Structure 1
Amino acid sequence: MNVGIGLPVGDPATLLTWARRAEHGPFTTLGLLDRLVYDNPEPLVALAVLAGATSRIRVQTEVLLAPLRDTALLAKQAATLDRMTGGRLVLGLGVGGRDDDHWATGTDIRTRGRRMDEQMALLRRLWSGEPYGDGVGPIGPAPARPDGPEVLFGGFKPAALERVARWGDGFLAAAPPSWAGGLFDTVRAQWREYGRAGAPRIVAQVNVALGPPPVVEQARAAMHAYYAFTGMPDRMVSGMLTTPGEIREAITAYGDLGADEVMLYCHGLDPAQADRLADLL
């Protein structure tokens, strides 16, 4: 079972410390979430910095809100980061559920799923080296992988799950083990229905905080603020795992469900959590 770390967004200056500690630990991936109207670092810019400070660990958006972005520019940014990291980029994508993010970019939240599908068709074409369109040539550079960086889709609705089989390489599941299994089964079944070879890569995400009480409380406060827009932040925070036993049990449970990787998402700022989690593993 591979295990990655989701990075906190409250203080971008600490992320290099997190990345270096994770690089020297047992972790396989660094993850960073995306919002626009929020006090968080832009993920592609931040992950480019972190990739330059590391040499082994993957860098992953979880999830980048693709409908907020210009598709041609996103294709170029992702291909550049993938190429310069030797294929270490994992592009986790989602549609975004915050009205204010869409207001700020002038995009229509009601058509975000349709826009995502249109974006994926163009992204795959551009990453394969085809021209943008009539009178417009290809957009380079070529990514490290011939068909572009690995793409994971997050989400829970049927259209989001189907998108894995239509356009993606795998599924990013921010769901507890108690109901993640059904999502995994649906994704795998649709993968077969679309005639895809092999199997989708399954990545689970769980929120954790490991350390003395002030570290845990700060993580809970940060997570509560981030999920306030859902109307149920208390419920979200209650699912945070805060003991070594809980975290080990979750990793084992996801493994039993066939997950390939578990991302331990840390909302607290203390980078020593990377060392504590490494010791736990």
Structure 2
Amino acid sequence: MRLLVPNTIDGRLTLPDGVVAEIYDVAAPVDVRIETADALVAWGSSREWMRTAAERMTQVRWVQSLGAGAEQVLAAGFGPGVVLTSGVGLHDQPVAEHALALILAAARRLDLLRDAQVRHTWSDRGGRQPGDDAPEFSTLRGRRVAIWGFGGIGRTLAGYLSMLGADVVGIARDKGRRDGFDVLDGADVDALLPTVDVLVLALPGGDETRGLVDAERLALLRPTAWIVNVGRGTVVDEPALINALRAGVIAGAALDVFETEPLPAGSPLWDLPGVIVSPHAAGGRPLGYAALIEHNARALLGAAQWRNRIER
């Protein structure tokens, strides 16, 4: 069995007998080796590269994406007989850590402090500041954070936030209690939003989540509330968000993802006060990918059960 492995990861894998890894360059055009390969690991390839691979890989039996989401590999067009597996779980800690960093940056307004540093100005946000009676979001202690998308990333982040004193509520398809946190479903969202200080979005892309946070939902949030998005940019109605920020409907947004990436130079989000721009940097660090690839290589030989199989 020939497994094509991208040059964006360390290709020194401990594969079972009968599976041989070959390195390919994600930045180079698809080469002829793809046509006779049995399996493919995808990480860092463009959508066009993946579509071309799907067209030419007539012998492929398994495609392993290292991304947390399944959108790109599903959109590529691999046939129904090809097993697709994702990188779910590989990004839980890195994305949760980045989300926590964005939340703390919002609470302590590190964006304003950095602006002052660039101007060589001693910011008036030093010294004495409001405490328990602070009108703005300035601490996690006693503040409510709603995490919409309570999978591995959301649950990991919830643990970090809880340790810092936040009141964490999850939102998912099914309500209940997970990892010690209350989880509401979509029907409860509109009643929850007026009570939160931070709304974290850790949702996948797709038609089901497109535009979930629209002008009406933004209007339900407190004027002191922040939005933090580490999921997909399409979840938020971006023009509505821009209008809400301009009008002071919400206090700010710390965004790692956008409808169009890279964020166009002409986007108002670059210059709006209360916006922290992060260049889709939360992920990009799949932790434990080697073990996942090695396990699913055994599954390819019938010696294990598939991990992270994408149902379609």
Normalised by the length of structure 2, the TM-score is 0.26
Q: Which has the higher contact order (CA 8 A, sep 6+)?
A: 1
More helix by share: 1
